[in-house]
Amino acid sequence: MKIGIIGIGFVGLSFAAVLGSKGYEVLAIDSDQDKVKKIIKGNTPFYEPSLSPLLQKALKKSLEVSSNTEKAVNECNLIFITVGTPTTSDGNINLNSLKAVAKTIGQTLTNSKNKPIIAIKSTVIPGTNHIIKQIIEKESKKKSGKDFGMISNPEFLREGKAVDDTFNPHIVVIGGEDCKTINKVKKFYEGFYKSTVPYITTNTQTAEMIKYANNSFLATKISFINQIANICQSIPGTNVDDVAKAIGIDPRIGGQFLKAGPGYGGSCLPKDIKALISFSESYGQSPTLLKAVQTANSQQVEILVSFMNKVLTSLKGKKISVLGLSFKENSDDTRESVSINLIKKLLKHKVKIIAHDPMAIENTRKIIGDKISYTKSIVEALKDSECVIIMTPWKNYTKLNNKDLKLMKSKIIIDTRRLLTKKKLDAKYFAIGLGSSN
């Protein structure tokens, strides 16, 4: 069986590298030729732990990378579409890339003897699979279910853990219109995973909805615990991590995604909840809970700025060190990063910022430019600083000690991820979700 993967972002590249490293014949396609050239040389276009060596292994074995979509349509039995589906400014989902791919697939199928299964992995609003099917049918003048197959197969991998999540997914969701096509895709996955991964087979629109419900629920858990954290912070001695640990033991709640912090960011959670709100409103629904989750998330950073203003008496002219720029640890991704959002807000208060991140400085520079200073040394970041705020839970920040703080002008630490709660630091220490007596 030959596998096609169209769109080499996080999902596409992780999937291609994992399958290729196991000897599956894979043809990965991207329209960006510079990106393709880089990947062919074994370089990943973004930082993702363990992905680079896996990609190199896959390229040596059975992974081919190119910009030739037609080749994938003519030669592959199963084609996964993993192109980006960003949101437009009004919150709707932008399907342009997906539609363009569908058009090329349809046009190529017209004169092809191949009968591939097309599986959409990109996150798309319910009903999209049907729209894509219609485009392919119109362009090819062929019939889905007879000349090609259509499947919705959402992906749940996380950045920073993409390789592990691709090898060990918690679920495989397969949505389709006919049992034969669904079973073929299920058989492919069963052959690969050979373990007890739960499978959910359903229709395409339900599969599409599962992904939105999943990400929206994760966002809800985070906003919930962030609100509890804010309440804890006003009760001296209270610790949100103990609260989260205890409620997470209740199997009806579950322990994951209960780490309070500055709010969720990244390329998925904010985008997906926005798209679900916009989609449900177009059907006359009032998604009040989802909107509240979104509001709670955007308020979290505002609360932080007010808190900093209070702790520092005034923000104006202060020198502040920001530790962590990526939206999460083990990633260089700054899309919808709360840290970047915080920096933008602090700059409005005429604050001088020096920022540190092990991986995300280049991506931050593309957004913020030279309005702030950057350093790869934590000690340098803290020199002459009047306040340090930890935004991203990089492991390195847990090692921060009194020696590192020595050159600070005034020793104030704001720890949004509670990395330093157990340390005896010679500083004024504040953390989200810790009720302090100050």
What residues from 187 to 216 belong to the interface with ligand UDX (CB under 6 A)?
215
Q: Is residue 7 involved in binding ligand UDX (CB under 6 A)?
A: no
Q: Is residue 157 involved in binding ligand UDX (CB under 6 A)?
A: yes
Q: How far is the CB of 244 from ligand UDX (least distance, A)?
A: 8
Rounded Cα distance, 89 and 150, in Å: 29
Q: Is residue 174 involved in binding ligand UDX (CB under 6 A)?
A: no
What residues from 210 to 249 belong to the interface with ligand UDX (CB under 6 A)?
215, 218, 222
- Environment class of residue 244 by beta-carbon count within 10 Å: exposed (0-12), middle (13-18) or buried (19+)? buried
Q: How far is the CB of 277 from ligand UDX (least distance, A)?
A: 17
Q: Is residue 264 involved in binding ligand UDX (CB under 6 A)?
A: yes
Catalytic residue selected from 76, 232, 268, 387: 268
Specify the pairing of strand 373-375 against strand 352-356: parallel
* Residue 268 bears catalytic tag: yes
Q: Is residue 258 involved in binding ligand UDX (CB under 6 A)?
A: yes
Residues 242, 418: contact at Cβ < 8 Å?
no
- SS3 label, residue 341: helix
Q: Is residue 259 involved in binding ligand UDX (CB under 6 A)?
A: yes
CA dihedral 233, 237, 241, 245 (to 10 degrees): -130
CB within 8 Å of 191: residues ≥ 6 apart = none
Stretch that binds ligand UDX, among 107-115, 152-160, 198-206, 245-253 (CB under 6 A): 152-160
Specify the pairing of strand 172-176 against strand 149-152: antiparallel
Q: How far is the CB of 264 from ligand UDX (least distance, A)?
A: 3
CA end-to-end span of the chain, whole Å? 64
What residues from 308 to 337 belong to the interface with ligand UDX (CB under 6 A)?
327-328
Q: Is residue 269 involved in binding ligand UDX (CB under 6 A)?
A: yes
Stretch that binds ligand UDX, among 144-152, 176-184, 187-195, 260-268 (CB under 6 A): 260-268
Residues 367, 405: contact at Cβ < 8 Å?
no
Residues 122, 84: contact at Cβ < 8 Å?
yes
- SS3 label, residue 367: helix
Q: Is residue 51 involved in binding ligand UDX (CB under 6 A)?
A: no
How far does Cα 210 stand from its chain's mean position? 17
Which residue from 22, 103, 158, 383 is in contact with ligand UDX, where contact means CB under 6 A? 158
Q: How far is the CB of 41 from ligand UDX (least distance, A)?
A: 26
Check residue 88 and report its DSSP letter: P
Which residue from 261, 324, 358, 433 is in contact with ligand UDX, where contact means CB under 6 A? 261
Rounded Cα distance, 385 and 381, in Å: 8
Q: Which of 405, 404, 308, 297 is nearest to 353 (CA)?
A: 308
Q: Is residue 432 involved in binding ligand UDX (CB under 6 A)?
A: no
Q: How far is the CB of 11 from ligand UDX (least distance, A)?
A: 8
Stretch that binds ligand UDX, among 51-59, 132-140, 155-163, 315-323 (CB under 6 A): 155-163
Stretch that binds ligand UDX, among 52-60, 128-136, 253-261, 423-431 (CB under 6 A): 253-261
Q: Is residue 257 involved in binding ligand UDX (CB under 6 A)?
A: yes
Q: Is residue 296 involved in binding ligand UDX (CB under 6 A)?
A: no
Q: Is residue 433 involved in binding ligand UDX (CB under 6 A)?
A: no
Q: Which of 6, 104, 16 is nearest to 62 (CA)?
A: 16
Q: How far is the CB of 37 from ligand UDX (least distance, A)?
A: 26
Residues 153, 119: contact at Cβ < 8 Å?
yes
How far does Cα 15 stand from its chain's mean position? 15
Output 73 or 268, the one with its CB closest to ligand UDX: 268
Q: Which of 326, 348, 323 is nearest to 337 (CA)?
A: 326
Residues 141, 126: contact at Cβ < 8 Å?
no
Q: How far is the CB of 288 from ligand UDX (least distance, A)?
A: 22
Give the interface size with ligand UDX as a residue count (CB under 6 A).
19
Which residue from 7, 149, 176, 265 is in contact with ligand UDX, where contact means CB under 6 A? 265
Which amino acid is it at 272? D
Check residue 144 and report its DSSP letter: B
Q: How far is the CB of 170 from ligand UDX (least distance, A)?
A: 9
Q: Which of 172, 163, 167, 161 is nearest to 197 (CA)?
A: 172
Find the residue with minimal CB distance to ligand UDX: 268
Active site residues: 268
User: Under the rule (CB under 6 A), what is the footprint of ligand UDX?
Assistant: 155-159, 215, 218, 222, 257-259, 261, 264-266, 268-269, 327-328
